[in-house]
């Protein structure tokens, strides 16, 4: 499965079966976490066999999660860019998990923080979790905004790569499906994107930037 197929078939999954994730897959995901932490200076951790974060707490019930025992703890050094970096690298993990036949859901609110199973150093922050496992279903498709609601262009003819980048960004997960982002295509194949106001909109920004890169092809444009 390539990344385009992974992003087109991914949906948030909140109910998981008790099928354990194979040791080989966990090993591969741990390697990816190490690689992405080295690239980004994040401190992402893959937590396994920990059902308490999505136990019978009020928040977990509100979020309607069940069967979650594995998740990525998205931790990193506090800075203005932390949320966006978490979004970008977290979505890389989400799409790699999808390619491996696993399911995920970004979780900003509906979980309980179990500090004893993760390491959060001084100056670091837990931004959110990403649940991971074999879904009871593959999730469902959601209503999406139209491309003209999330993008504009300063050029006369819109190239195909830009349209494809925006189309892939529209398939990205965003908090409460808010899709509050705006892409602009400028002269010279330069692209900018801004986050709107809303919960976790900077995490969303990192996520949609990664989706845009997959759709548009990084060789076709430069971020402004
Ligand atoms: C940053 C972020 C935080 C989220 N937090 C939660 C959450 O706390 N609880 C929940 O059930 N879903 C959460 N979601 C999942 C979104 O509701 C979901 O991505 C959105 O409705 C779009 O659906 P889709 O992922 O199936 O495309 C979150 C998504 C993102 C990107």
Q: Are 19 and 134 in contact (CB under 8 A)?
A: yes
Q: Are 66 and 102 in contact (CB under 8 A)?
A: no
Instruction: Report the largest interatomic distance among the alpha carbons of the chain, rounded to a whole angstrom.
Output: 56
DSSP characters over 139-205: --------HHHHEEESSSS--HHHHHHHHHHTTS--GGG---EEEEEETTTEEEEEE-SSTTHHHHH
Mutate to test the pocket of ligand 1, among 127, 175, 208 (most ligand atoms within 8 A of CB): 175
Q: Do the domains 3-133 and 147-223 sit in the same CATH topology, yes or no?
A: yes
Q: Are 12 and 133 in contact (CB under 8 A)?
A: no
Q: How far is the CA of 13 from the centre of ligand 1 (A)?
A: 9
Q: Rounded distance, CA 205 to CA 208, Å?
A: 5
Residue 128 sits at φ, ψ, to 5 deg, of -170, 180
pLDDT digits (tens, 9 = 90+) for 133-150: 999 999 999 999 999 999
Nearest Cα to Cα of residue 74 among 131, 25, 12: 131
**CATH 3.40.109.10 for domain 3-133:** yes
Planar angle of CA 204, 119, 34, nearest 5 degrees: 65
Fold of 147-223: NADH Oxidase (3.40.109)
Planar angle of CA 104, 62, 26, nearest 5 degrees: 25
Instruction: Give the model's confidence band at 64: pLDDT under 50 very low, under 70 low, under 90 confident, else very high.
Output: confident
Q: How far is the CA of 173 from the centre of ligand 1 (A)?
A: 6
Mutate to test the pocket of ligand 1, among 9, 87, 108, 135 (most ligand atoms within 8 A of CB): 108
Cα torsion 181, 110, 135, 35: sign: positive
Q: What is the pTM of this model?
A: 0.97
Domain boundaries, the chain: 3-133, 147-223
pLDDT digits (tens, 9 = 90+) for 194-204: 999 999 999 99
Give Cα 81 distance to the centre of its chain.
15
Share of the chain above pLDDT 90, in %: 92
pLDDT digits (tens, 9 = 90+) for 180-196: 999 999 999 999 999 99
């Amino acid at each position: 499965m390539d990344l385009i197929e992974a992003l087109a078939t991914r949906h948030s999954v909140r109910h998981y079966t008790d099928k354990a994730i194979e040791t080989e897959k966990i090993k591969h995901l741990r390697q990816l976490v190490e690689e992405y932490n080295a690239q980004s200076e994040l401190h992402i951790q893959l937590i396994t066999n920990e059902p308490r974060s999505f136990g019978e707490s009020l928040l977990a019930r509100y979020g309607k999660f069940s069967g979650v025992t594995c998740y990525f703890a998205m931790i990193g050094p506090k800075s203005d860019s932390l949320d966006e970096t978490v979004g970008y690298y977290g979505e890389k993990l989400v799409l790699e998990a999808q390619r491996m036949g696993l399911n995920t859901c970004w979780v900003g609110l509906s979980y309980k923080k179990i500090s004893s199973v993760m390491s959060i150093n001084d100056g670091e922050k837990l931004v959110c979790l990403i649940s991971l496992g074999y879904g009871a279903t593959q999730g469902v498709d959601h209503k999406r905004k139209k491309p003209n609601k999330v993008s504009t262009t300063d050029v006369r003819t819109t190239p195909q790569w830009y349209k494809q980048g925006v189309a892939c960004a529209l398939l990205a997960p965003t908090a409460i499906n808010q899709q509050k982002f705006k892409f602009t295509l400028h002269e010279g194949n330069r692209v900018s994107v801004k986050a709107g106001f809303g919960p976790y909109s900077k995490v969303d920004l990192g996520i949609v930037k990664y989706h845009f890169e997959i759709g548009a092809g990084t060789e076709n444009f430069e971020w402004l």
